[in-house]
Amino acid sequence: MQKIKGSCLCGGVAFEVTNAFDKLFFCSCDQCRQITGSAFASNLFAAAESFVWLSGADDIVTYQVPGRDISKSFCRICGCGVPWPSSDGSKMVVPAGSLSREPDFAERVRIFVSEQPNWSTGIERVSAHDRFPA
């Protein structure tokens, strides 16, 4: 199987994972929106044994929401989201934006759409620009 690399923004935390994901989840739940500061989180799930830290594991901080099965791992230097283990340790949750190139996945799935904010709907009808518009 082919591997894909990923890292945080500063490059201090780096990893490698098998590039064969079942699903890419776009989650619009309240917690994922707060964790990302965006309309949704974009996460892939990988078998724990297909994942390896290449550098910076000691620079990872994890916030666990008290009383919930929700967490966020990030680089303590640049603050970028990085992968974290599922609660049972069998999977690694990989933020899609942390990968160095396009991931291979079989399906895209939107979840918790009932919690999606109105301001994030109809994105395909919003004007698009390659850079900041003039």
pLDDT at residue 26 is higher than 90: yes
Domain positions in the chain are 3-117
pLDDT of 68: 81
Rounded to two decimals, what is the model's pTM?
0.89
Token readout for 50 is 């297909």
Quick one: fold of 3-117?
2.170.150
Distance set, CA 104 to CA 17, 24, 44, 60, 89 (Å): 11, 9, 10, 26, 22
Q: What is the pLDDT of residues 109-122, one digit of tens each?
A: 999 999 888 888 88
The stretch 98-105 carries a mean pLDDT of 96
Residue 113 token pair: 């759409």
Say if residue 17's pLDDT is above 90.
Answer: yes
Query: Tokens at residue 132, please?
Result: 């900041």
pLDDT of residue 47: 94
Q: Which residue has the tokens 């970028």?
A: 80
Q: Are 65 and 50 in contact (CB under 8 A)?
A: no
